[in-house]
Structure 1
Amino acid sequence: MPFQYLQISRILSDRDYSNDKNEDIYVTLHKRETHIEVHGHSINFLTKIEKSEPKKLRIHIVFHSHVDPGWLNTFEEYYNVSVHNILTSTIYALEKYPRLRFIWSEISFLERFWQDATAEEKKKFLELVKSERLEICGGAWVMTDEATPLFYAAIENMIEGHQFVHKEIGIRPKSSWSVDPFGHGYMLPHLLPYTGVESMVIGRFHDHVKQRLREAQKLRWIWQPPYYEMETNGPIVNSLPYFVYTTQHACPDTKLCGCYHIGPSSRAQCIGGTSMKNMNKTNADKITEAFVNQMKQVQKVYGTDDILVAIGDDFFFANRTDFDEMYHGFAMMADNLKERYFDQIEMDFTTISEFFNRIKNQSLATLVGDFFPYTANKDENHPWWTGYYAHRPYYKTLERRLQASFKNGLRSLDILRVAIKSNESFSELQQAKRDFSLFQHHDGITGTSRPHVMADYERRMNDAMALSMRVFAAMTADIMKLEAPPQLVNKIVN
């Protein structure tokens, strides 16, 4: 059977929500033994909180680079200046250091790289994925915003990314990495299980809620969407412990953790410690111990032996020396720990799926609710991050019009494909659908990008609208030539 993620939209479109009642939802939740309810900035623990004392410390280092397909620069500007170099450097580093692991989530940039990559680069990339040292996470075209897109747009975003990954890379992602949207909602934990994704790493939500979860040692949970009862549980979620996904924010002391983010592309400052760049046999114990002390504090907010530590930054690892220096530093610390602590404290490089496989037998709380609205300040001295819900309405309106065009046209096109057994029109629309999906990025549809970047999104959507109208017009002309039953023609044309 061919790999078809269109089943996602069919499953959802067949669902009738009109008869859903609140009591039905709560009965379902009760059956799932709900432990935590979250509603934006409020959180309730429905069962007694029992903290645990870990016996060991296992530090799972995850190297990543956060690459926005449009923010301060346009998609193409970022690709030409940074992203192409990041991907070639990744291949170089993973080949050079067999112990190293890396994750990648933005499929839009991967597809752009695939256009330029040599046959040898593609071969090496595929070998690294096959060996599970390079993990493709999420599989969506972009790391979508979770507040403003509609379900249709989120599904299209998944379809475009997953179909490329399946066709060119030959895999089906198991884990999701969504660490920068401004809050998190029900949409992804509801949709991702349909794509085969079983686990998620998320990052940004109300600091008051995150603080309560830290205090309760509940930064991992099973996230159950309330729409209707599924045959299986929702995805397992691991929240990053602090503000964002950078190396500095992997620790409670962000200034000290700046000492462990080194390389030519680093923008971190080392304050209060010794830079890992200057580590040698003489000071290795001291530098390693300072990092471990930070990780012990992180472990306290999880209450488990295993902790995931995100190591990276925006457009980091664009220089091969970034990989060289970061790898040697963390590898030296890992070896130092093994020599001094044997198996009581361990550290090594990992992927998201490897980490979740390690913790799969842990007993986890069940959480229901969403993390909107979002604010980054627990004292609430800063405004809520809700302006992007309606900010730059022209672009949001253009996106909705393009979405309506796709929904109406593709419904007719699906009928035409059955009638004439052709996928030609679908192929013509692929670039239009990809540009539509690109705008779902958390700095696109939110309107949080620079003006010239928003103008680039606008150009792409206008081109997509024009292309889709041409395709649908040609399609209608073809339909009129068909020797088809009149009711079929009327259904399409009208």
Structure 2
Amino acid sequence: MDLEEADGDTESLSSSFLISSESPSTGVDVDNLSSWKGELSLLELFLSSQQSRTATNTSMLNVHLVPHTHDDVGWLKTVDQYYYGDRNNIQHAGVQYILDSVIDQLQQDPARRFIYVETAFFYRWWKQQSQNTRRIVTQLVNEGRLEFINGGWCMSDEATTHYSAVIDQMTLGLQFLNETFGECGRPRVAWHIDPFGHAREHASIFAQMGYDGFFFGRLDYQDKARRMKTKEMEMLWRASESLTLPLADLFTGVLPNGYNPPEGFCWDQSCNDAPIRDDPDLEDYNVDEIVQRFLNVSYNQFSQSYIKLIKVNVLYSTPSCYLQELNLANLTWPLKTDDFFPYADDAHDFWTGYFTSRPALKLYERLSNSRLQTCNQLEVLSGPKSTSGPFGEGDSDTMKRAMGVAQHHDAVSGTEKQHVAYDYARRLATGWAHCEVLVRNSLAVLSGSESPRVFCENLNISVCPLTESSQKFSMNVYNPLGRTVSWPVRLPVNGSLYSVTDTNGKAVNSQVGNYVCMSFKLICNIYDMKSSSLLPLLSVSINNKSVLMYVFKFLKVTFDDTTGLLSSLTNLETNQTIRLTQNFYWYNASAGNNKESRQPSGAYIFRPNSSDPFVINKTAEIQIVTVSSTVQEVTQWFSPWVSQVVRLYEGHSELELEWTVGPVPIADGLGKEVITRLDTDIESSDYFYTDSNGREVLERRKDYRPTWDLKQTEPIAGNYYPINSRAYIKDDKHQLTVVTDRSQGASSIYNGSLEIMLHRRLLYDDFRGVGEPLSEPGEFFDGLVARGRLLLTLTPPNMAADVHRPLAQGMVLQPLLSFQDGTPLANTKLEFTGLQDALPPAVHLLTLSQWDKDSVLIRLEHQYQAEESKTHSQPVTVNLQKLFSTLEVLGASEMSLGANQWKEDMNRLQWNTGSQFFISLTFEQIITLNPMEIRTFLLQVRQL
């Protein structure tokens, strides 16, 4: 029914706004639906006629009620435990019961609607349903009463995820929905109501996938207060500076209550709001009171309109319906061009710690992504025998689902309980075990050799039983990049008498000591290594002596002869030198006993109790210096739990810093947030630059936000930003770029400095739900030992992208090594390339994956931003028919980025910002890629 104000004012206003109304996230049994029914009983007070339930009214204020559920794909419990309702002593939650309840209740009333997000859960539930239930659900989907929103395998984190893995997990979910429900199952709205800050690249991805809008729940408390005041809770997000307008424009709305209903309207079993007592004979009858309270909430959420409203029309709705109504209003929206990091929910509560939390899991997820891409590519290139070959049944689907789960905002983010983190890692390991069989089969097909292949999982700690025990072995190297790369490899061996030869029998330049170290250009090659009479190369111990490192024509590195620390870096090609001092520090994590706030550091929150970190050691003991024609390295020891190897490789223009941190000591009762800081004489003037999910780069400025006037309350944590692959500082002449091997937090607190957080070990929970401190146990020690790599480049700013872009892609997609005992058999094919020619330097092969029996999915991307590179920020062409060496391309159809609709059928809502755009879509076999453009094609192929 229509709700009228008592005074009967004749003024009216046609408008709409959205109220999310979460169903019980705790999960309830089908026979115990009190909380779900309780919520609906309130709605029935407002929704008395079929007409008012299904349509808006142009003469009223339309209130769109959106029943939904938020189901974490792992957090306090594992994915399985959440689905089945296991371990309810941790959290009372069972996703399967929520879905059972929803389907039952939707059938009770044709006016009811519901939205669902996490395809990983729905996929599992769907597999268990009878044909009759599937028919009912399909009908609900076709009628628009059960609507899928977002549609990815999970609701991904936005700070610590790489764009390639985000696109994959979205594609996985969208493909299932498309195959199961067709067009009616295609999500049209992105829904990220829980992630802890929001990345511009995510908005760009959603826009390119054809979404009409994006809703989220969390933004900085200062930003929210300003937007509430200026009525800018809804906006148009322009999410790319490079893509042609409006390809990356996305309508974006902030839900004022997060994923919760308005205060006083929660009947989840975990809530304590008073029930509705609708019997007029009861003494405590409260319907009138609740109706009035609902009206007040409606008016307040409607931006405190200065027009006095007389009527409210309330309807069950979805975000898609709400967006349609807003679009019809043809209003002009404010524009947003930056991102929503960092996120704080109070003055001393910055959610910037999770950028680094669980560094080992973050690296494992990144390496798993690389392995998955290799698995996908080899499945395509080697054909059907890859999944059913000499080494058994293999598949890539298990790994795809494991990686999909790992993108969840409580997975790679590091914000889960410890036993859940173990479960995520176990899933990735299981996924790789399935892919490993596929890879073995594929390499057997491509090489013609079925000799057993071994994958050494512990090379990061110099452990590989085959290479350490065999006098003769071959190394198979597969490069998943679409271009030739130079990649250093270090292998543990038994002794120092080894020689290395390439596919042509020529010697490979290598250093042999207690390991073999080599660097070579590769596509997919086999290298032969056998015992020889080579002498070990120089390895000497020194103490606080002057060390000068050179590598051919590229870099010169010096160390201070007193402190043992790095002192300068020189690019010999450009004749540039900067002062460079690097050291390790730790911030003392707040225990929550600070007089300003009770907030401690935890899995989410970074809150040091001082702006000045403690230096781990003012000097570094240089223990080993190795000099050869292949590699030069210096080993530095800073403390029993911090060490580093500084390396320069032949033919490489980057400096490698391989750090080892842990176990972080806590016997002193202090939690520690460990950083490395690079101090230079670059005049960066409080500016620094970070990537967004590995793609476009955003400018950052200390103590500043582009959107509002910041009142800085945490001078360290409030200046931390996520980096997924790189960060840099620069002035007019110099740019120092740091490429990382995983997602981390970074900042520039001082002029000319760049600091990166490497590890965290804390003693207290931060009161955001995890309920345990972030103090990871180690496998061999009392505490986690983390090891990683940073790559440093020094270039003029106008040349930097040509170096750091391919370097970052190489860190993400690393060559896969496998080993065979003995020398290759005579009939073994020693070299293979899946491409007819290397791709142009500006083009990256983002996706190559089997779609169905005769089709493959391919994504090609331009990996440079507009005006970023004089050489490569130009349109580039690729011939789709002349890509592959083992496939004949019979036809090609362009798709959306999410691969769930044809590009020609994409018809997004257009939003008014005061200017107009026109897009022309064409397709040819020779395609053109513009800066930052990703193009997705379904290719019909035949195996050659």
Query: Match for 2:419: what amino acid?
Result: H
Partner of 1:373: 342
Cα deviation for residue 422 of structure 1 reads 8.5
* 2:387 is equivalent to residue 393 of structure 1: no
Cα deviation for residue 163 of structure 1 reads 0.7
Q: 1:421 to 1:186 in 2, by over 3 A?
A: farther
* 2:246 is equivalent to residue 238 of structure 1: no
Cα deviation, 1:305-360, whole Å, max 9, x if unaligned, reads: 9xxxxxxxxxxxxxxxxxxxxxxxxxxxxxxxxxxx9x721111101111111111
Contact 2:448 2:829 in 1 (8 A): no
SS at match of 1:387: coil
Partner of 1:190: 204
Contact 2:299 2:305 in 1 (8 A): no
Cα deviation for residue 411 of structure 1 reads 3.0
Among candidates 56, 61, 69, match of residue 57 of structure 1: 61
Query: Match for 1:491: what amino acid?
Result: T
1:226-265 map, 5 Å: 226-232=240-246, 234-242=249-257, 244-247=258-261, 250=262, 257-258=263-264, 260-262=265-267, 265=268
Partner of 1:277: 276
* 2:372 is equivalent to residue 406 of structure 1: yes
Aligned mates of 1:126, 1:112 — CA distance in 2: 16
Q: 1:421 to 1:451 in 2, by over 3 A?
A: closer
Contact 1:220 1:302 in 2 (8 A): no
Cα deviation for residue 88 of structure 1 reads 1.1
Partner of 2:381: 415
Query: Match for 2:352: what amino acid?
Result: T
Cα deviation for residue 235 of structure 1 reads 1.6
Query: Match for 2:423: what amino acid?
Result: D
Partner of 1:206: 220
Q: 1:354 to 1:65 in 2, by over 3 A?
A: same
Partner of 2:940: none
Q: 1:303 to 1:455 in 2, by over 3 A?
A: farther
Contact 1:214 1:301 in 2 (8 A): no
Cα deviation for residue 284 of structure 1 reads 2.4
Cα deviation, 1:421-455, whole Å, max 9, x if unaligned, reads: 98879982111111111011000111111111111
Contact 2:200 2:239 in 1 (8 A): yes
* 2:77 is equivalent to residue 78 of structure 1: no
SS at match of 2:243: coil
Aligned mates of 2:306, 2:142 — CA distance in 1: 33
Contact 1:134 1:351 in 2 (8 A): no
Cα deviation for residue 410 of structure 1 reads 2.5
Cα deviation, 1:271-324, whole Å, max 9, x if unaligned, reads: xxxx3422345642222011211221111268999xxxxxxxxxxxxxxxxxxx
Aligned mates of 1:422, 1:346 — CA distance in 2: 58
Partner of 1:465: 432
Cα deviation, 1:178-210, whole Å, max 9, x if unaligned, reads: 100001111221111232211111111111111
Partner of 1:148: 160
Cα deviation, 1:200-240, whole Å, max 9, x if unaligned, reads: 11111111111111111011111111242235351211111
Q: 1:427 to 1:246 in 2, by over 3 A?
A: farther
Aligned mates of 1:424, 1:367 — CA distance in 2: 50
Cα deviation, 1:52-94, whole Å, max 9, x if unaligned, reads: xx98422111001110010111111111111111111111111
The percent of aligned pairs where both chains have the same amino acid is: 27
Query: Match for 1:210: what amino acid?
Result: K
* 2:144 is equivalent to residue 166 of structure 1: no
SS at match of 2:337: strand
* 2:127 is equivalent to residue 115 of structure 1: yes
Aligned-pair RMSD on alpha carbons? 2.8
Contact 1:214 1:302 in 2 (8 A): no
Partner of 1:68: 72
Among candidates 110, 113, 116, match of residue 101 of structure 1: 113
Aligned mates of 2:307, 2:134 — CA distance in 1: 39
* 2:452 is equivalent to residue 448 of structure 1: no
Query: Match for 2:369: what amino acid?
Result: Q
Contact 2:120 2:153 in 1 (8 A): yes
Cα deviation for residue 106 of structure 1 reads 0.2
Aligned mates of 2:306, 2:374 — CA distance in 1: 50
Contact 1:177 1:200 in 2 (8 A): yes
Aligned mates of 1:86, 1:172 — CA distance in 2: 21
Q: 1:424 to 1:188 in 2, by over 3 A?
A: farther
Aligned mates of 2:131, 2:408 — CA distance in 1: 30
Partner of 2:301: 298
SS at match of 1:235: strand
Contact 1:219 1:301 in 2 (8 A): no
Q: Single out whichever of 433-442 and 184-193 deviates more from structure 2.
A: 184-193
Partner of 2:138: 126
Partner of 1:31: none
Cα deviation for residue 362 of structure 1 reads 2.7
TM-score by length of 1: 0.72
Contact 2:119 2:151 in 1 (8 A): yes
Cα deviation, 1:434-478, whole Å, max 9, x if unaligned, reads: 111101100011111111111111110111122222211111112
SS at match of 1:300: coil
| Unaligned stretches of 5+ residues in structure 1 | 1-53, 251-256, 306-340
SS at match of 2:354: helix
Partner of 1:135: 147
Aligned mates of 1:350, 1:428 — CA distance in 2: 40
- More helix per residue: 1
SS at match of 1:428: coil
Q: 1:179 to 1:381 in 2, by over 3 A?
A: same
SS at match of 2:214: strand
Among candidates 815, 828, 832, match of residue 490 of structure 1: 832
Cα deviation, 1:240-282, whole Å, max 9, x if unaligned, reads: 114x2111xx3xxxxxx23x222xx422223xxxx34223456
TM-score by length of 2: 0.38
Aligned mates of 1:408, 1:304 — CA distance in 2: 60
Aligned mates of 2:318, 2:198 — CA distance in 1: 22
Partner of 1:51: none
Partner of 2:103: 91
Partner of 2:749: none
| Unaligned stretches of 5+ residues in structure 2 | 1-57, 86-93, 450-827, 839-944
Query: Match for 1:352: what amino acid?
Result: P
Query: Match for 1:154: what amino acid?
Result: V
Query: Match for 1:156: what amino acid?
Result: D
Contact 1:217 1:303 in 2 (8 A): no
Q: 1:96 to 1:415 in 2, by over 3 A?
A: same
Q: 1:454 to 1:212 in 2, by over 3 A?
A: same
Query: Match for 2:422: what amino acid?
Result: A
Aligned mates of 2:59, 2:226 — CA distance in 1: 23
Query: Match for 1:437: what amino acid?
Result: G
Aligned mates of 1:303, 1:464 — CA distance in 2: 57
Query: Match for 1:287: what amino acid?
Result: I
Aligned mates of 1:151, 1:447 — CA distance in 2: 18
Q: 1:303 to 1:202 in 2, by over 3 A?
A: farther
